Structure 1
Amino acid sequence: MTDHIVILGGGTGGAVLANDLADRLDAELEADEVRVTLVNDGPDHVYKPVWLYVPFGEREPADGRRPLDELVDDRIDLRIDRVTDIDTDSQRLRMRDKTSLSYDYLVLATGSTLAPDEIPGLAEGGHDYYSESGAETLREELLSFTEGHIVLSVIGTPHMCPAAPLEFVFMADDWFRKRGLREDVEITYTYPIQRVHGNPHIAEWARPIMDDRDINVETFFNAESVDPEANRLTSMEGTDIDYDLLVGIPPHRGVDLVEEAGLGDSGWVEVDQHTLEAENADNVYAIGDTADTGAPNAGSVAHYQAGVVGRRLASDIRGRPATATYEGKTLCFVETGMDSASFVEFDYENPPSPVPPSEKIHWAKLAYNESYWLTARGLL
């Protein structure tokens, strides 16, 4: 009997896991004892961290895109299709063309989707860099922006790349200073709780930098609506902020089929934070943004979780106890300007302690962005 592992989603988690399994289960694949299928609804793999640099003219969207068939090992069955239903009782997926795909093990790496329409006026009055099209549009706005008020509002939490909103205002401050425009550009940052970041240690580190650079801060600001004609952002607390350019971090949701399958609310799969096994179904795992571990997910999380799930699946396939666990390991570079960055490393037990920003760390982040494609191929 051939065991069938299906990975749903070809982002960082899905691609890294597919290549991990190709190497880890090489003998079993060769003997036709196991089969691995990666399903993605498009032909490309997208490295979303590139989008942060697009508005500042530092990168093009194409720099973050590669064909999946060039990244994924030939031993993996790559299927470009859309799953429309997950039946965890029969362990079967229904596809867009009405065909079905059975599995013995399912790994959900479906990521996040943006839901700007949940905030009235946001889609019409705001810009974002959490999507390819949004980053390109924001670039055109920034290039023509020479004076006025820029507001970066974190509207939805949790969201992809928890540090990216801080990075944007730090980079914008430096970008305008280098162009001699900062005195004419006011920058305001809003966050929905009473600090500037969800993690108190990162918030404690970031707030003095914001104060030193004259970046206005509005905490406990839960955006409720945007008036595109008046250029006004209104919070649930009754605070109004007028803007000339609004950069919003929209609400994030998972994919509907996860919730429809009873695996968790809002498209996030409820998992054991150490094993990454789904709480509400057997033989189902989730990684990356899809996994509701109770902790924010930086991009590195999907990479480390993929390795854990790969080891657990290999143990199951070989009839051994699965002992590999994920302990919350996270690595994150944080840009603090156009040519400086900090770095944090933490896990479930050890909180982050950002290192002093430097140009060397900035170049290390850029080097990682370039070498990421080796990571996706399973070579790093």
Structure 2
Amino acid sequence: MTEHVVILGGGTGGTVLANDLADRLDSELDADEVRVTLVNDGPDHVYKPVWLYVPFGQREPEDGRRQLSELVDDRIDLRIDRVTDIDTDAQRLRCREGRSLEYDYLVLATGSTLAPEEIPGLEDAGHDYYSETGAERLRDELLSFTEGHLVLSVIGTPHMCPAAPLEFVFMADDWFRERGLREDVDITYTYPIQRVHGNPNIAEWAQPIMEDRDINIETFFNAEEIDPEAQAITSMEGSDLEYDLLVSIPPHRGIDLVEEAGLGDNGWVDVDKHTLEAEAAENVYALGDTADTGVPNAGSVAHYQAGVVAQRLASDIRGRPATATYDGKTLCFIETGMDAASFVEFDYENPPSPAPPSQKLHWSKLAYNESYWLTAKGLL
């Protein structure tokens, strides 16, 4: 009997996994003993880290977009469709227009979605670079912003790319200085807990840099409502913060299908953090942002987790014990300006220790951004 692996989501995790399985199960695919189907609700694969550079005019949104068909191995059954129901008991997916898809193994790599509507006034007032349209609109605002108060407010956690809010204020500070405008622009950074980042080691490293660059810090600031006319943020703690330009990290959620299937809350799948197996259903895995493991919602995490899931699936399909486990490995470049960056690498046991910022690391990040498409294809 042919084993059928269905991957839902064509982002980093889903695409890397599909290509890994194509390589790992080469003989089984050729013998029609295994089928791998990748389902995505659109034809494009988007590399979202590019969006950080769009507001500063350094990249265009299309730089982060490729056709999935160009990235995925030809032996993968690529389906552009929207899944409307997950039945883990029957091991069946229901797609748009009533079509169904049965599976033997299901991997959820559905990522994060933005939910600015959860904060009154945010959709009308805030700009973001966590979406393609948001990054383009923010670029237009920044180009005409020559004086006033810029506020970067982290409103929702967890969120994609936990370092990106720090990167934005570091880059904005440098960008305004290069243009001779920094003395006329105040920058304030808000974070919902009592430090500037969720990871205490990164927070301890970042705060002195922010203070040295005169970036104002408001911690334990949870935005509750935005007044677009008054240009003010009201926090749950009872304080108000006025702005001239608001850049927000909106609340993030997973897809409703996950919660409707009983796999977890807010669209995140409850998993064993080492095996990435869903706790509420058999033969179901989750990876990347979709998996509630406690590690950052970062592309590197999805990449490493995809390798683990591929090994476990190959072992199961071949009737062998699945022994591969995920150790929490995460790595991330952190831009500290327009021409310098730091780097961190950590896992469940070893905390991050950011490297001293350097131009070399900045260029290393840009080089990785360029070579990312080889990673997605499974060539790196």
Tell me which interval the TM-score lies in, with the shorter structure as reference length.
over 0.9
Aligned to 2:118: 118
**Aligned counterpart, 1:231:** 231
- Residues in 1 aligned to 2:234 and 2:164: alpha-carbon distance in whole angstroms: 22
Matched position secondary structure for 1:217: strand
- How far apart are residue 295 of structure 1 and its match? 2.4
The whole-number CA distance in structure 1 between the counterparts of 2:300 and 2:169 is: 22
Unaligned runs of 5+ in 2: none
TM-score using structure 2 length:
1.00
Q: Which residue of the partner structure matches residue 89 of structure 2?
A: 89
1:314-333 equivalence runs, <5 A: 314-333=314-333
Deviation at 1:297, TM superposition (A): 2.2
- State the alpha-carbon separation in 2 of the partners of residues 269 and 3 from structure 1: 23
What secondary structure does 2:201 align onto?
A: helix
| Distance in 1, Cα, partners of 2:132 & 2:63 | 11
Shift of 1:22: 0.3
The Cα shift of 1:36 comes to: 0.1
Query: Once the 2 structures are TM-superposed, how far is the Cα of residue 97 of structure 1 from its aligned partner?
Result: 1.6
1:279 corresponds to 2:279: yes
What's the counterpart of residue 309 of structure 1?
Answer: 309
In 1, Cα distance between equivalents of 2:110 and 2:138: 26
Report how far residue 205 of structure 1 moved: 0.1
Structure 1 unaligned residues grouped into runs of 5+: none
C-alpha separation between the residues in 1 aligned to 2:40 and 2:85?
14
Match of residue 163 from structure 2:
163
The CA deviation string for residues 261-306 of structure 1, in whole angstroms up to 9 with x for no partner, is 0000000000000000000000000000000012222210000000
Q: How many Å separate the matches in 1 of 2:246 and 2:279?
A: 39
How do residues 131-210 of structure 1 correspond to structure 2 at under 5 angstroms? 131-210=131-210
Letter of the 2:93 partner, please give it: L
Query: Helix, strand or coil: the match of 1:267?
Result: coil
Letter matched to residue 361 of structure 1:
L
Give the Cα–Cα distance (whole angstroms) in 1 for the partners of residues 81 and 61 of structure 2: 23
3-state DSSP class of the match of 1:338?
Answer: coil
Amino acid at match of 1:82: R
Displacement of 1:176 in angstroms is 0.2
Shift of 1:145: 0.3
Match for 2:346: what amino acid? Answer: F
Q: Where does residue 4 of structure 1 map in the other structure? A: 4
C-alpha distance after superposition, 1:154-198 (max 9, x if no partner): 000000000000000000000000000000000000000000000
SS class of match (1:265):
coil
The 5 Å alignment of 1:207-226 reads: 207-226=207-226
Looking at structure 2, the residues matched to 84 and 9 of structure 1 have their Cα atoms a distance apart, in angstroms, of: 13
Match of 1:108 in 2: 108
What is the number of residues matched between the two proteins? 380
2:138 partner amino acid: L
What secondary structure, in the 3-state scheme, does the structure 2 residue paired with 1:90 have?
A: coil
Give the secondary structure class of the aligned counterpart of 1:79: strand
Bigger mean CA deviation after superposition, 294-303 or 333-342 = 294-303
Structure 2 residue identity aligned to 1:221: F
Q: Distance in 2 between matches of 1:68 and 1:298?
A: 20
Structure 1 length as normaliser, TM-score? 1.00
Residues 41-79 of structure 1: CA deviation (Å, up to 9, x unaligned): 000000000000000000000000000000000010000
Query: In structure 1, what is the equivalent of residue 246 of structure 2?
Result: 246
Letter in 2 for 1:117: E
CA RMSD of aligned residues (A): 0.4
Distance 1:74 1:294 in 2: 34
- Counterparts of 1:344 and 1:5, CA distance in 2: 34
SS in 2 for 1:136: helix
Q: Structure 2 matches for 1:340-359, cutoff 5 A?
A: 340-359=340-359
5 Å-filtered alignment, 1:28-39, equals: 28-39=28-39
By how many angstroms is 1:121 displaced? Answer: 0.2
Identity fraction in percent: 85
Aligned to 2:338: 338
